[in-house]
A = this chain, B = another copy of it.
């Protein structure tokens, strides 16, 4: 059986665009001899449509578009993800469905049974789980059609009480098809392959897997659609971070295969090349889908802004990214030099705009109130905010989007100025710990020196007062990031982290900084998600409250 895997970058709510993409892919798959073409979960609406699903008009539009696509399915069948209405008289108003289109009409609907409701996922908000299961027969083959999570209930203590494929298995399917919306994080590819392997082995069947590609604000879909044989061996896979249509022919050789080796997941290893590519796509799609072409950012001479500039230049083109150095009296000459060298290495437009006059004007304005009070955090923040005002003015005047350059370590402990360096339309590095920002910098320099080595090797400093170093206020990043990882990604409490050998006072201090800065993170831009636990939608903590652990 010839099945086309259709991996596309859809636009949420743009039914006209999405329908055209799907229509063209159906046509191309048919020309190339495919019997069936498979699209991702909620392909037609784009993923995640979020609360648009609560609008009746949105659902109606989706239904109309789906029926228009069905009309195109003559001589080929298609599986397209889209919402469908729950007409059973109770429960949530929708199902998350795989629509089976053939012979010019909608011939069957398969509803998702296991609805992810953790991290960034909110599917119980909209959908009722499937109760009944079925297969569809086409060209003499019985297909089990499943939606994403329905094959993911594989933990030792399963997250769901049902196992949809156990029920479908009784109907003797011959191929498992899974349509997904499975966002990237640095381990997701391995986890995904392992789930396909376990599913193929448990049921002794080939698995066809189709995912989204493209970024939707913070969520980055890497694609990675694939087909594995009954042993869980990946026989075909589609490229990462790229749209693709590929035809796979499932014949007898896809059955009774030797089992693929289990895949080891190392939760602390993070493939920096993958993260790099994900961030580049994240930037590119944020701009593309918002309808903007040009980015602006503040360059400090430090590593975070340098890495952000390099990623943005790759995503948007070097001429479309403008770097602005905004030195204060505390900026060192080497910072200015490093920032300038970086912009030159990347051939990005750049400016040098001293903030002295504006800073002095604020000092004068506030002098009647502040007279006699010592220089402190207020004046540090004032510099960062003065920079933000200038960058936002340039953004407004010339149509740039400001890129936020904060990293995950800073965001975690609140080491940044709200309405200052925490500004921006999108946060590029907010899910990348400082130690990984260094790894990204070295990766960016893999062929030539783009980021000045001095930016990588000098001790990190905010340069907001004389001789300031990050390490004056924070533990060394090597240590800090390890504690943060245990707290944020692993959700360990203080006693559990201490038990790993970290100093009790330090652990409490770090966790207390993380908790007491929820209010600050609440107001920061969306963060491109590259880890299994990013700040934002996927991590929901109270702002008021008193808990350190």
Contacts and interface: CB of A to CB of B under 8 A. Distances in A.
Interface in A519-540: 519, 522-526, 537, 539-540
A546 B91 contact: no
B542 A13 contact: yes
A495 interface: yes
Interface in A184-224: 215-217
B357 A540 contact: no
A90, A491, A495, A542 interface centre (most CB from chain B within 10 Å): A542
A549 B423 contact: no
A413 B549 CA distance: 41
B217 A57 contact: no
Contacts of A369: 351, 353, 394, 397
A418 B396 CA distance: 11
A271 interface: no
Contacts of A505: none
A183 interface: no
A92 B159 contact: yes
Given A351-B369, A370-B397, A543 B217 contact: yes
Interface stretch (A118-126, A168-176, A251-259, A450-458): A118-126
A381 B362 contact: no
A545 interface: yes
Contact of A390 (B161, B290, B365, B547): B365
Contacts of A216: 542, 544-545
A373 interface: yes
A160 B493 contact: no
Contacts of A217: 542-544
A395 B51 CA distance: 36
A44 interface: no
Interface residues of A, number: 97
A467 interface: no
Nearest to A290: B544
Interface in A324-379: 351, 353-355, 357-358, 360-362, 364-366, 369-370, 373, 376-378
Contact of A396 (B12, B381, B492, B526): B381
A419 interface: yes
A396 B494 CA distance: 30
Contact of A524 (B286, B396, B523, B537): B523
A58 interface: yes
A14 interface: yes
A90 B158 CA distance: 5
Given A14-B547, A56-B493, A290-B519, A542 B382 contact: no
A124 B286 CA distance: 30
A159 to B, nearest CB: 7
A177 interface: no
Given A353-B366, A523-B523, 8 more contacts: A12-B544, A13-B546, A50-B541, A50-B542, A215-B544, A285-B544, A361-B361, A369-B397
